[in-house]
């Protein structure tokens, strides 16, 4: 099996795990979202430390945590991703998985806007049309449902700004996310200790009271970390345009979970808004694919018609 094929398989598995994760969080729905988030953070750190130890990269992990210039940005990134994780868990528990699906469909278009604002990237006509259609979909939902789809917008925005910070960090995804959860873990442990002490908590800590639930909370670590590792592996071996297209597996499976498995309400307004988003993403994907082909053609021309082969980064950017 070639590296490319292994990369594609890893990407499909990662996006499938992300897309089906609402089922996992629905199963542990009786556990408050804040407690799930705390366990997700702690057990993710355990998983990452074990992985980095096996890879012999604990020194690099420690160096990241002791570099002040990196820590301040990682702390901000950690805050954004923890908010994103909490909103996702809360939305699933509250029967709003449709909104999480919409949020992750909107994200690529949000990233286009953030790229223009923060990195002065060019907004082509096709990308502008895609963003306009997404904005129309959001406006349609707000008008038809009588409220902004704030959960979707919050998920897309927090993840979008998280991506902006990750572009500024000279760290790969495994070490950077491991460092981020390491910065969050003291807060997670304080919260869990407070919950189990029962001092003022409305719902005492659940971990340890039921074996099955406790094991599921432990599994939340690998459920969080494993797709990131697979994504990192895939991003080193698969073209960026392919990565972008395969990522739509995630919100698509979330949408299937919401409508088919959870039986969440799906009105004509939802259908119209999602149709607009899907058209927008189609336009965006075609534009991105065309721009990628044009760049490769220019690169081949300037190098004497010889294919340009670039060595993949040792740890490319990954989705959290």
What's the predicted TM-score (pTM) here?
0.86
Tokens 């901000």 correspond to: 76
* pLDDT tens by residue, 246-258: 889 999 999 999 9
Query: Tokens for 214?
Result: 């406790």
In angstroms, the CA 166 to CA 227 distance is 17
Domain coordinates in residue numbering, the chain: 3-302
CA–CA gap between residue 302 and residue 182 (Å, rounded)? 45
Contact 181, 45 (CB under 8 A): yes
> What's residue 121's pLDDT?
79
How far apart, in whole angstroms, are the C-alpha atoms of residue 241 and residue 220? 30
Q: Give ∠ CA 137-139-145 in degrees, rounded to 5.
A: 95
Where the chain has pLDDT below 70, the residues are: 1, 198-203, 240-241, 292, 294-296, 299-320
How far is it, in rounded angstroms, from Cα 155 to Cα 82?
11
Give the integer Cα–Cα distance in Å for 223 and 182: 17
pLDDT at 173: 77
Query: Please, are residues 123 and 116 in contact by the beta-carbon 8 Å criterion?
Result: yes
Give the helix ranges, DSSP H, for 56-149: 58-65, 68-93, 97-119, 125-145
- Residue 311 pLDDT: 40
Cα separation, 86 vs 80, whole angstroms: 10
Give the number of other CB atoms < 10 A from CB of residue 211. 8
Cβ neighbours around 188 below 10 Å, total: 22
Residue 236 has phi, psi (to 5 degrees) of: -80, -15
Question: What is the reported pLDDT for 1?
Answer: 66
Specify the residue for token string 């809360």: 90
pLDDT of residue 215: 95
Sign of CA dihedral 274, 280, 120, 312: positive
Please tell me the predicted confidence (pLDDT) of residue 318. Answer: 40
Looking at residue 197, its pLDDT comes to 82
């Amino acid at each position: 099996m070639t590296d490319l094929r292994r990369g594609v398989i890893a990407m499909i598995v990662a996006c499938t795990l992300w897309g089906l994760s609402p089922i996992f969080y629905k199963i542990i729905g009786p556990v408050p979202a804040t407690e799930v988030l705390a366990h997700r953070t702690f057990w993710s750190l355990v998983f990452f430390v074990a992985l980095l130890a096996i890879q012999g990269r604990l020194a690099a992990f420690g160096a990241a945590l002791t570099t002040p210039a990196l820590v301040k940005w990682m702390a901000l990134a950690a805050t954004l991703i923890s908010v994103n994780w909490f909103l996702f868990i809360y939305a699933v528990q509250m029967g709003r998985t449709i909104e999480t699906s919409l949020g992750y469909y909107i994200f690529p278009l949000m990233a286009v806007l953030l790229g223009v604002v923060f990195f002065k990237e060019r907004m082509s006509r096709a990308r502008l049309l895609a963003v306009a259609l997404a904005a129309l979909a959001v406006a349609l939902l707000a008008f038809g449902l009588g409220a902004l789809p704030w959960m979707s917008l919050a998920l897309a925005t927090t993840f979008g700004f998280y991506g902006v910070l990750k572009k500024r960090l000279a760290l790969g995804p495994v070490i950077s996310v491991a460092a981020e959860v390491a910065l969050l873990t003291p807060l997670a442990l304080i919260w869990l200790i407070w919950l189990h002490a029962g001092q003022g908590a409305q719902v005492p800590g659940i971990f340890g009271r039921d074996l099955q639930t406790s094991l599921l909370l432990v599994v939340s670590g690998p459920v969080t970390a494993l797709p990131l590792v697979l994504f990192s592996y895939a991003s080193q071996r698969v073209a960026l345009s392919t990565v972008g297209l395969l990522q739509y597996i995630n919100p698509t499976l979330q949408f299937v979970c919401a409508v088919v498995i959870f039986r969440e309400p799906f009105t004509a307004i939802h259908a119209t808004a999602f149709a607009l988003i899907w058209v927008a993403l189609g336009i965006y994907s075609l534009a991105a694919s065309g721009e990628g082909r044009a760049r490769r053609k220019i690169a081949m021309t300037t190098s004497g018609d010889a294919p340009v082969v670039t060595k993949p980064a040792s740890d490319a950017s990954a989705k959290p």
